[in-house]
Structure 1
Amino acid sequence: MTLRGRLTSAFLVVVLGPVLLGSIFVAVTVGAVNRERTTERLDHAATTVSVAVGAICRQLQASADAVAVVPAESRRAVADQLVARGLATEILVTDPEQPNLGRSATTGDPGGAGRDCADPGAGEPSRVSASAYAQDVTVIAAQRIDAALLDRLGEAAGVAVTLGADVPGAAGTARRDLRAEPGRPVPLTLTVPTGEPTFRYLALLLIVLVTAAVAVLAARWLARSTTRPLGDLAWAADRVANGDLDTRVPIPRPDELGRLAGTFNRMTRELQSYVQALTASRDQLRRHLAILGDTLSSTHDLDRILPVILRTAMTATSARAGLILLTDPADGRLAARCGFGLAGDWDMPGAELPHRAVLGTVAATGSPLRGNTGQPACESYLAVPICAPPDEEAGPEEGTLGVLALFDRLGGASFEDTDLRTLRTFAGQAGVAVHNVRVHEEAQRLSLTDPLTGLWNYRYLREVLRREVERASRFGRMLTVLVLDLDHFKEVNDTYGHTAGDQVLGEFARRIRIGLREVDVAFRQGGEEFVVLLPETDAYGGVIVAERLGAAVRDRPVLVEPRRPGLPDRIPISVSIGIAVFPEHGATAQEVLDAADEALYAAKNAGRDTYRLAVRVSRGGTEGHLDPATAVTGGPQPPRHGRGR
């Protein structure tokens, strides 16, 4: 529902609600008053009719008494006189001495005694009578209850009187039943029209309808006059939202809506000036961000990314100088990686960095700092931490990766809040770049590393072997390749379990790393087979390394935990080694590796726990034993053949 509809509905509820409630109250009140008046009329009519019937009974009793007390010879004349005067419709006299009076003295035919006023229990309900007694004479005075009498009673009471009780009334009438009782011997039914105030109800309905029509018109006018300025304001706001900042709202009246329209126009003018200023800054920043985006998407080289980030941040904040420092993942120390505008060489020791304490505090707390130093060389500074982007799947953040610092804002005494927000943005870009580079390096390392032993894997072996063969060929150097294989490793897995087998492989790799030089490289080729590259080493040096590795493996059994019940906790192991030298045993990397592999099979066939040196012509190998007592002492000559394991 629109605002105009809501205002109209609210006004109608406020106006028509009381009107409707009042109309209902009036209608209910009129009906109640009408029912009370009807009840009062029936009560009055019942009293009137009861009094009139009682008067008739008293009149009949007086007539009967008058006839009873006169002499016998005068009774007929008195009775006729009383009937003639209308005091009774008939008088019945019974006298044993005057049988001619045995019927009655009446103006009409006798119809029976009727109902006695004193005892209305029996008798004709269309007559009422009263009795008098004098010695043996009984006088009964009766009055016929005819339509004329009922009409007279109705006129006197103002109601319609009907003989008998429980007589159903017509529609739109109210009735009252009068039961027979002493003094009122006949049952009567009083009927009165209810007199529903139909005209009043119609008038009341007409008033409500007229009031409702007037209220609807007033509500529409009020809602229109209230919502029209708001509609103009909404239209102008929509135009401003679509980019038309020249839109203005007319001010119809100096009321609250007029003040709102004036405030909107003033806000639009200020917004237009801000947008113009922001558009100029946006165009400049867009150019720098385009350069930054191209750099971030094209390389993982921090030496190219960080200078672009720093120059863009300096341009956006009008800083004279800037510096980026990164923490060393190994020891956590800050090291300068990029700087511009600093006096002298920016690649300086940490003790000579400007505001070293400030930068260290930012890196330690992870909170930005800014201020003025009061020194001519560097009046103001602004430093923010470079943090890794949050990653819910990766777990806790890495912490602070470094610090981005700017010095001396051109055109201002110090850096402002807007500069802090801008520098946070660029620090976030730097954090993403550093994090991505480190993630890329870690992913590359994991893709080339065996997770069980920590040695390089077979994929990296092929790359390094090819590179080392090319380097040895280019500089005329020698390269020795050792292929090592643990003896009876399947039996270790079958006897001690694969967990113990993994511990043996890890310990074997550790002993290989200990027995090599820093320039030597070890690889896990797969399973229990390993490869060692010895740059600038001839066959004699390869034999020495093979003897040393074999002794290191043989002399110290591997401790496994937990051990299986009934088995020792130390596993004796031995290794067989094949040796090949580039270019003596192969002209390519694959040929040298194949030659070393064939030499390994020769060592295996010779009884294990020994080594073999590949030969240039024959497919056999030079025998050797990994016993220190039989170590080669004079060049790459084959050692004595010993007992293999």
Structure 2
Amino acid sequence: MSFRARLNLFFLLLVVVPLVAVGVVLLRTIDGAERGKVEAALVSEGRAASALLAEQAEEAGAVAAEIAEDRTLAAALRERDAAAIRERAGELLAPATDARRIRIVLPARGRRPAAAVEVGSPTALLPASRTLVAPGGGGALARIQIATIGPRALAVRLRRLTGRDVQIRDLPSGRLLAGDARDTGRLPAPGRVGTTGRGDWTAVVLRQPGFGTARQEVVLLASGTQVRASRSDRFALLGTLALFLVLAALGALVVSRSLQRQVGALLEGARRLGRGEFDEEIPTSGTDELSQLAGAFNAMSQQLRRRIEELGDERERLRSAIRRIGETFAANLDREGLLEIVASAAVDAVRADGGRAVVATADAREEALAGWSDGLGPLLDAAEQRIVQGHDGFVSDGDLHGLAVPMGSEAGIRGFVAVARRGEPFTAADAEVVAYLSGQAAVSLENVGRHEEAEREALTDPLTGLANRRRFDELLRTAVDRAQRDGQPLSLLVIDLDHFKSINDRFGHQTGDAVLREVAWVLRDGVRGLDAPARLGGEEFGVLLPATDAEGALMLAERLRESVQRLRVVTEDGLQISVTTSIGAGTVGGLGATGASLVAVADGALYEAKRSGRNRTVTADESADAE
């Protein structure tokens, strides 16, 4: 810690911290006093509000007693005539009486269920209840609830009485019936004075019964500014503390300057060195220890300036090389060549003696080595294993040091880039460089995977896994060229499923798709390695048979037809269905063979097979004879 920092810390601990602590304690004390006053006032005002609510309930009770004696209403109640009850109750509302809301509940009697009739303002509150009894001990006729005041009028009276913000809420819905629409958060328990959930208000809650099972809450609110000390009190306290703080700071400043004057020049020179300003030297005068120290600072500054210039040039060369390598990665679609590049680049970038790049594919583990590799395997394996176990990739074995970084993505680790060298251990900066190369390689490997996947999807039927029509056309052109070049026959089987539409109509397209997949499996399993099965579209398949004459094509077609006929596909309902095929076999050969002629011959044979009854194979010669 510097000399000036020690002085500042001394001033902070002995002056600033105690003054701030005293200020906080005093502010909390005067705030607490104000809060106590407000809470006591709220308690008193809550009692006054309770008295007002009780007085209002008594008024409602008097009106309820008056209405309970109404003979017309009593007669309607005895007859349980809801229309007459509603009409008379409406006539008894204000101004006939002070009632603003009347609710009459008829108890269940015999087969008649309980019923309720309600008239007046639906928001009137503070009801009084009376029970009307039938003459002669006939039991209760009805229970009457009457309210004489609404929430807005009650809120006005409470605000005039207490001078506080008032809220009247309906329970359990929490709907605001009257008062200030302020979001206070959670309120204190009924009858208690406390801070609201948001902490900006102090409140007292009075809970009153309402009509039926409903209840209402009357809330008296004091804002946060009312429970804190006044602004003038705060300013007086803070001003006094600030005055003490300024006086203490002036005294500390005078002492600090007198103590630092002797080392000021040397300290300023050290600061310039810390900011990287190496061109301006520290002035030296005399031969004392401080002047010798200044000369040592100047010599160090010159050496640092030369070394920083050299490091800057070296870093720029390294960045340029890595940038070019990264661009090469991004454009490379050859996995083997990519691994060789990243292994060599990693070895060169961190001055390693040797290394390797490893990636695990779906089929095998591929790796590329760079530099010296004798005896590196176990060390690099250990570095990679540390990555798998969740540690860093640094390992050492005597004078031999290794470093591994993962090559992967969010889906997981796909491989590693690992390097090794003798003598100097690897640093975090070396790991950062290798990690950059590994990240670029991972991006490029993803591009390779996407390219390969796109090629497969472009040439493969997604339902059956066979070659699609585009791939079939490519294979047909290649097979025709080879047949013309070698003078060998070329055959084509065109296979169509019989009555396939009826399968989709009866059992659904999912069963139809299952039939197509099973037929594709039969074709794939029943042909030779050089034959090419494909899905031509819908329920039509084709099989290219290079170097196959008409007799061989007929034999293979019959074998495939019989295999398909033996298939049994289970539907979603558990039924087993079978399917038959019609096959047209065409053969061409010689220098005049063309793809169009081969397809035309096979299509003609297929047409003849369907016309003559289906579930059979017709060759081009049979088709020609039939015509």
Q: TM-score, normalised by structure 1?
A: 0.49
Counterpart-to-counterpart distance in 1, 2:431 and 2:625: 72
Q: Does 2:581 align with 1:575?
A: yes
Matches of 1:280 and 1:603, distance apart in 2: 80
2:384–2:393 contact (8 Å) kept in structure 1: no
CA shift for structure 1 position 507: 1.4
What is the root-mean-square deviation in Å for CA atoms of aligned residues?
4.7
Partner of 1:121: none
2:469 to 431, 443, 458: 458
- Aligned residue for 2:365? 334
The secondary structure found in structure 1 opposite 2:385 is: helix
Long gaps (5+) in structure 1: 1-13, 15-214, 227-251, 345-350, 391-396, 564-568, 624-645
Describe the superposition over 1:11-66 as per-residue Cα deviations: whole angstroms up to 9, x where unpaired.
Answer: xxx9xxxxxxxxxxxxxxxxxxxxxxxxxxxxxxxxxxxxxxxxxxxxxxxxxxxx
Say whether 1:483 aligns with 2:494: yes
What is the CA-CA distance between 1:277 and the residue it aligns to? 4.7
Aligned to 1:531: 542
The answer to whether the 8 A contact 1:546-1:577 is kept is yes
- Whole-angstrom CA distance in 2 between matches of 1:538 and 1:499: 37
Shift of 1:295: 2.6
Match for 2:615 among 609, 627, 630?
609
* Partners of 1:273 and 1:472 in 2: CA distance: 74
Work out whether residues 363 and 402 of structure 1, in 8 Å CA contact, stay in contact via their aligned partners in 2: no
Secondary structure of the equivalent of 1:303?
Answer: helix
CA shift for structure 1 position 574: 0.6
2:396 to 372, 391, 394: 372
1:565-608 Cα offsets, whole Å, 9 max, x none, are: xxxx1122111112223436962333323332222222222221
Alignment match, 2:335? 302
Deviation track 1:320-373 (CA, whole Å, cap 9, x = no partner) reads 21212221313xx5343x1122358xxxxxx99454742662575475523223
- 1:555 CA displacement: 1.8
Q: Percent identity?
A: 34
Matched, 1:267 2:275: yes
Structure-to-structure mapping, 1:238-637, within 5 angstroms: 262-263=270-271, 265-269=273-277, 276-330=309-363, 334-336=365-367, 338-342=368-372, 353-355=377-379, 357-358=381-382, 361=385, 364-365=388-389, 368-374=392-398, 379-387=400-408, 389-390=409-410, 397=411, 399-408=412-421, 412-562=423-573, 569-583=575-589, 587-615=593-621, 620-621=623-624
How far residue 305 of structure 1 moved from its aligned partner, in angstroms, is 2.1
Go from structure 1 to structure 2 and tell me whether the alpha carbon gap of 1:477 and 1:419 turns closer, same or farther (over 3 Å shift): farther
AA aligned to 1:381 is: G
In the alignment, is the contact (CA less than 8 A) between 1:585 and 1:595 conserved in 2? no
1:119 corresponds to: none
| One-letter amino acid of the structure 2 residue matched with residue 401 of structure 1 | R
Matches within 5 A, 1:170-249: none
Q: Is the 8 A contact 1:538 1:581 kept in 2?
A: yes
Residue by residue, what CA displacement relative to the aligned partner does 1:478-502 show, whole Å, maximum 9, x if unpaired?
A: 4322211111111111111212111
The separation in 2 between residues aligned to 1:492 and 1:585, in whole angstroms, is 43
Distance 1:254 1:505, change over 3 A: farther
The alpha-carbon deviation at position 255 of structure 1 amounts to: 10
Counterparts of 2:530 and 2:387, CA distance in 1 = 36
Structure 2 distance, partners of 1:477, 1:368, is 63
In the alignment, the residues of structure 1 paired with residue 307 and residue 445 of structure 2 have an alpha-carbon distance, to the nearest angstrom, of 35
1:162 alignment partner in structure 2 = none
Quick one: distance in 2 between partners of 1:360 and 1:476?
57
Q: Distance in 1 between matches of 2:596 and 2:264?
A: 90
Distance 1:436 1:368, change over 3 A: farther
- CA shift in 2, pair 1:495/1:380, >3 Å: same
8 Å contact from structure 1 (residues 484, 531) kept in 2? yes
- Whether contact under 8 Å (2:384, 2:418) holds in the other structure is no
CA distance in 2, matches of 1:341, 1:505: 54
Distance 1:584 1:277, change over 3 A: same
Aligned twin of 2:95: none
Paired amino acid for 2:580: S
Q: Is the Cα contact below 8 Å between 2:330 and 2:443 reproduced in 1?
A: no
- Could you say which structure has the larger radius of gyration? 1
